[in-house]
Amino acid sequence: MSEGPGAAAARLTGRPVTDERPLSGALTEVTLDHGHVVMVKRGSDPGAMRAESAGLRWLADAGTVRVPVVHGHDTGWLVTDRVPAGRPSAGAAARFGRDLAALHAAGAPAFGAPPPDGPEHAYIGLAPMRNVAGGDWPLWYAEHRVLPYLRSAVDGGTLRRAEAAVVEQVCERLPQLAGPAEPPARLHGDLWNGNVLWGVDGHAWVIDPAAHGGHRETDLAMLRLFGCPHLDRVLDGYQETAPLAEGWRDRVGLHQLFPLLVHTVLFGRGYAEQALAAARAALTG
């Protein structure tokens, strides 16, 4: 019989399990001795849990945004602390913005750099994502973030070949569209609202990263793409700490191309329409 989440938690933490409660097919809430509650995630690929564990630790090492403690992982499982749920507030959102700015400022060795001990072949959600280092953000973003998913969408029939031309045009013009050069930021990498937990402690916590070195505007564009409570306060807190370069609002569509194309590959045509709209917006400013 294959190992279950409770047994995996006991093995990886070295502590006895007193209760377990499935939350989804991949996630189980497990109670250890003395009432300590952890989240146990089942991996879909041998490298996925290694990548996620390395990403969480890299983000935590910055000492900025709150990140659940990693208790252990292997090729099939990841065990982290549970974040007791609270409610979003304007104050927590502003703190999150300031903490996110500090996280980005902690930096990365290069664009595309994986976390220490993280694999080159990682994931964003359920989609494969390669962490390949590059020294020039526009060229790296086109080659390793936009074009691989554009090709997959065309090959899968979700995006028509003629439609791909507008995205390819964005890639060609990226050096002119990207704004002032910036150093590599330490990105969460999959910062949609579902990966931001509002804790009972009054802070925002982040989970499920696709962490790598990238452009800081990419994390912020993803927050805007899928909505975030008190987003204006998040951005205010961010700008107070590390003001964004002039014209950043005009570049939101440019940075949303990556997650939208990932979603096009994973979830279909509706996201293809959004990706094309983002590409056109990027070209028109």
- Picking from 125, 172, 131, 130, the residue whose alpha carbon sits closest to that of residue 271 is 125
Residues 6+ apart with CB under 8 A from 99: 64, 65, 66, 203, 204
Instruction: Give the pLDDT confidence score for residue 145 in this predicted structure.
Output: 97
pLDDT exceeds cutoff 60 at 189: yes
Phi and psi angles of residue 71, each rounded to the nearest 5 degrees, phi first: -95, -20
pLDDT tens for 247-275 read 999 999 999 999 999 999 999 999 999 99
More confident residue, 187 or 227: 187
Helix, strand, coil percent content, the chain, rounded in steps of 5: 45, 20, 35
Cross-strand bridge partners of residue 212? 187
Please tell me if the domain spanning 5-81 has the same topology as the one spanning 90-284: no
pLDDT exceeds cutoff 80 at 1: no
**Residue 72: both structure tokens together:** 């252990």
Per the CB < 8 A criterion, the answer to whether 43 and 75 are in contact is: yes
- CA–CA gap between residue 259 and residue 217 (Å, rounded): 13
Q: What is the pTM of this model?
A: 0.95
Residues 6+ apart with CB under 8 A from 67: 56, 59, 60, 205, 206, 207
Phi and psi angles of residue 15, each rounded to the nearest 5 degrees, phi first: -125, 150
Instruction: Give the pLDDT confidence score for residue 284 in this predicted structure.
Output: 86
Whether 190 sits among the annotated catalytic residues: the reply is yes
pLDDT tens for 218-230 read 999 999 998 899 9
Band of residue 2 on the pLDDT scale cut at 50, 70, 90: confident
Sorted by where each begins, the domain ranges of the chain are 5-81, 90-284
pLDDT exceeds cutoff 70 at 186: yes
pLDDT tens for 72-102 read 999 999 999 999 999 999 999 999 999 999 9
- CA–CA gap between residue 25 and residue 228 (Å, rounded): 25
Spot the catalytic one: 99, 190, 208, 219: 190
Give the right CATH number for 5-81 from 3.40.50.150, 3.30.200.20, 3.90.226.10, 1.10.10.10. 3.30.200.20
CATH topology of domain 90-284: Aminoglycoside 3'-phosphotransferase; Chain: A, domain 2 (3.90.1200)
Amino acid at site 58: W
Band of residue 25 on the pLDDT scale cut at 50, 70, 90: confident
